[in-house]
Amino acid sequence: MIVATAGHIDHGKTLLVRRLTGIDTDRLPEEKRRGISIDLGFAHLRLPGLPPIGFVDVPGHERFVRNMLAGVCGIDHVLLVVAADDGVMPQTREHLAILDLLGVDRGAIVITKVDRVGPGRVAEVESEVRALVAGTTLAQASAFAVSAQVGDGIAPLREHLAQAAHRQVAVAAEGRRFRMALDRSFTIAGSGTVVTGTIFAGSVQVGDTLLLSPSGLQARVRGLQVQGHAAERAIAGERCAVNLTGPGLERDSTGRGDWLIDPTLHEPTRRLDVRLRVLASEAQPLRHWTPVHLHLATADVTARVVVRRDAPVAPGEQAIVQLLADSPLPALAGDRFILRDVSAQRTLGGGRVIDPFASTPRRRDTMRAAVLEALDREPPEQVLAGLLGACPQGVDLDRFARRANLQPSVVEALCASTKAVVLGRDHPRAFEAARVAAVREALLASVRAFHARQPQANGIEVAQLARIAAPGLPDEVVQALLREAVGQQKLELAGGRVRLPGFDAAANAADQALWSKVEPLLARVPQSPPQVREIAQGLRVDEKSLQAMLQRRVRRGELVRVDEQRVFLREAIIALAGVAERVAATAPGGRFNAAAFRDATGIGRGLAIQVLEHLDGAGVTMRLGDERRLRRPVREVYGQEPPALPPAPPPAAPPGARPQASARPGQRPGRIPPRHR
């Protein structure tokens, strides 16, 4: 348990800590000389049967509120100290306001210096403090009257701290990754760089590799101390000293305001969406673009307030606003912050970070407003439930986990409890079940509509389908839904196109009419079909349209394309493969050349080579220099025995060509008569 003091200067905070722990927290020479606390002081108390209780003693002077803010971040318990002779003073009020804005709800009121006043004055001060804390997070705090000088009342206060430590529910190390806000950095001879701070979440052990943020320097943990004692492991809720080593790591490379974190959490940001409450004591509303000091954990950076829709936040009111910091911060959702005026003279307000990865605000962005409303909820289960309804494009689970510092196992459990549908492998997204069902139906309906519009197309391209049925959804999500639909046999996916199961692009009327004319031409001499351009010229059809129809038949499995201008009936290719198999069986060593295949088939040499190259690609034959041998049996490749190859008929003129005139007696065929030369 971490306990901090709070209160006005010279109200006995440091002496109280020394009386409780035996440790003097004033360590600076100037603190000794002036008799006041300037910077943070640290001590610890060990009680029987309890883990050590850490103390952070904060300065009470108004000039050192910055240091006070660094000390009260991440604490579990506070001692609000008020001197009996002075009563409530200005810094008592400001410190209490800060504690209230930070949400510190466990603590005690300690009235000190009671040895200097009578019992009536003690009761008067207690009544004054009770009126002050009413309506704050410390309204129910117990009160103790003590004299740290002589020791009166210390025993009951120590017993109160022991009971609080028993009740203290430490933040579980499991479920969150390591984060520690640094308040000091120094060098020890022989050890190197040492940083100290409060562990906000997770755990750390010797040997871990971490990052210093926002610098991004990598560091390895050489050693640990918890409350002044060497340790192998430290967990959330403990103050810790960490001995670090790493390339480029020096004393000046890190310090107060930095974080030591798990590497996966490193994403410094300058733009934060927050819920801000302005103190009721302020005289003016907080307006758009107001310059401020932003205190978050141990950091103090200048920033601007971005008010949505130009609506100032009135004193005593709260609203969701954006903070634009001048320096990057490794903030996460739930982090508490304080705003002070640009001259650092007074506290303006404070609140809680709801989105550390904010986008530039836009007017009339209703979707973003809904997202912010969801992010403003607590706990994480309610946040996820709200985001599922506000994000039709899905909730990025990697970003959700990083935003709230949640381990994957915790996110998985949250998705199960909210009945979210998770899609995507590398970058998973969560959706409402109804949203996923609507997209599934839209995909099917869009494919049906495409078939109706373009019956000759083999299917709709995936990218086009995504634009129509799932606009804005990431490609990975669309691919996941398509894989699911294919697995359920609701869709087919081939060649980057999506179609309905059993859809046949070649079964349309136009293709059937053209095919009825083309098929006889391919079947007349199946081992030597005419070229596509010859068929197009003979039938007087557009070659491009003919090629498209033939390609649909190729996809259907009726035709086999050997090159751009030559397609074969499937049975003809299998028959030619059978010829190659028989030639190889009778050739010496099973090897044959293109000439032997040409002679066996009766087709031209050029076409014979094209067919053999196709058979090489199909795995029937294998080329060895100028020869080939059989690689696999034809039956194994095509799943059937090769049919007999029909005898080649006499060469015929291409379709549509004029018949050649007969040669006169004594004239060679095709020779032009002399009178026509």
Q: What is the distance between the alpha carbons of residues 604 and 595, in angstroms, rounded to a whole number?
A: 9
Give 67-85 pLDDT, tens digit per residue: 999 999 989 999 999 999 9
Query: pLDDT grade, residue 534 (50/70/90)?
Result: very high
Res 251 pLDDT > 80:
no
Domains of the chain: 2-167 (3.40.50.300), 179-265 (2.40.30.10), 269-361 (2.40.30.10), 367-431 (1.10.10.10), 434-503 (1.10.10.10), 509-638 (1.10.10.10)
- Give the pLDDT confidence score for residue 273 in this predicted structure: 97
Task: For residue 482, give both structure tokens.
Answer: 């398509």
Mean of pLDDT values over 481-510: 90
Residue 425 has pLDDT above 60, yes or no: yes
**Measured distance CA(81)–CA(77) in Å, rounded:** 13
How many beta carbons lie within 10 A of that of residue 546, not counting itself?
18
The mean pLDDT of 619-624, rounded to a whole number, is: 96
Q: How far apart are CA 382 and CA 374, in angstroms?
A: 8
For residue 171, the model assigns a pLDDT of 43
Q: Is 158 left (phi over 0), alpha (psi -120 to 50) or beta?
A: alpha
Helices 380-390 and 366-375, packing angle to 10 deg: 170
Instruction: Using DSSP, state whether 456 is helix, strand or coil.
Output: coil
Which of 442-446, 655-659, 660-664 is modeled with the greatest confidence?
442-446
Strand order in the sheet with 107-112: 41-45, 53-57, 2-7, 77-83, 107-112, 142-145
Q: What is the pLDDT of residues 181-221, one digit of tens each?
A: 999 999 988 888 999 999 999 999 999 999 999 999 999 99
Task: State the amino acid at position 377 in one-letter form.
Answer: R
What's the pLDDT at 562? 95
| Amino acid 502: pLDDT | 85
**382 contacts 394 by C-beta, under 8 angstroms:** no
Pick from 70-79, 114-123, 659-668: least confident: 659-668
Give which of 579, 626, 581, 623 is closest to 601, Cα–Cα. Answer: 579
pLDDT of residue 325: 98
Query: In this predicted structure, what is the pLDDT of residue 62?
Result: 80
Name the least confident of 16-20, 43-47, 362-366, 393-397: 362-366
Q: How many CB atoms lie within 10 A of CB 49?
A: 7
> Would you say residue 676 has pLDDT above 80?
no
CA distances from 155 to 144, 162, 412 (A): 10, 11, 47
User: Quick one: pLDDT at residue 173?
Assistant: 46
Q: With a cut of 70, say whether residue 45 has pLDDT above it.
A: yes
* 663/339 Cα distance (integer angstroms): 107
End-to-end alpha-carbon separation of the chain, Å? 114
Q: Could you tell me what percent of the chain has a pLDDT over 70?
A: 94
For 22, what's the count of Cα atoms within 13 Å in the CB-facing half-sphere?
Answer: 3
Residue 193's nearest CA partner among 179, 212, 174, 180 is: 212
Which residues does 91 contact at the CB level (< 8 Å), separation at least 6?
7, 8, 9, 60, 61, 62, 65
Question: In the structure, what pLDDT confidence band is assigned to residue 222 with cuts at 50, 70 and 90?
Answer: very high
Q: What is the pTM of this model?
A: 0.78
What pLDDT does residue 650 have? 57
Cβ-based neighbour number of residue 374 at 10 Å: 21
What is the per-residue pLDDT across 390-424, written as a single tens digit (0 to 9) for each?
A: 999 999 999 999 999 999 999 999 999 999 999 99
**pLDDT (tens digit per residue) in 50-62:** 888 999 999 988 8
What does the pLDDT read at residue 27?
A: 75
The segment with the largest mean pLDDT, out of 507-511, 633-637, 647-651, is 633-637
Report pLDDT for 166. 84
pLDDT of the residue at 174: 61
The whole-number pLDDT of residue 673 equals 39
The two structure tokens encoding residue 338? 């304080």
d(CA 334, CA 405): 10
Radius of gyration, alpha carbons of the chain: 41
3-state class of 81 per DSSP?
strand
pLDDT tens profile 147-171:
999 999 999 999 999 999 888 744 4
Residue 189 confidence (pLDDT): 87
Asked whether the beta carbons of 280 and 93 are under 8 A apart, the reply is no
Contact between residue 142 and residue 108 where contact means Cβ atoms under 8 Å apart: yes
How does pLDDT run across 254-276, given as a tens digit for each residue? 999 999 999 999 999 999 999 99
Average predicted confidence (pLDDT) for the chain: 91
Sheet (strand 627-630) strand order = 591-593, 627-630, 621-624
Q: Band of the pLDDT at 656, cuts 50, 70, 90?
A: low
* Cα 350 to Cα 366: distance, rounded to the nearest angstrom: 25
* Cβ burial, residue 120 (10 Å; 0-12/13-18/19+): exposed
What is d(CA 42, CA 56) in angstroms, rounded to the nearest whole number? 5
Strand partners, 561: 567
pLDDT digits (tens, 9 = 90+) for 83-101: 999 999 999 999 999 999 9
pLDDT for 530 equals 96
Neighbouring C-beta atoms of residue 532, cutoff 10 Å: 19
Q: What tens digit of pLDDT does each residue of 555-603 get?
A: 888 999 999 999 999 999 999 999 999 999 999 999 999 999 999 999 9
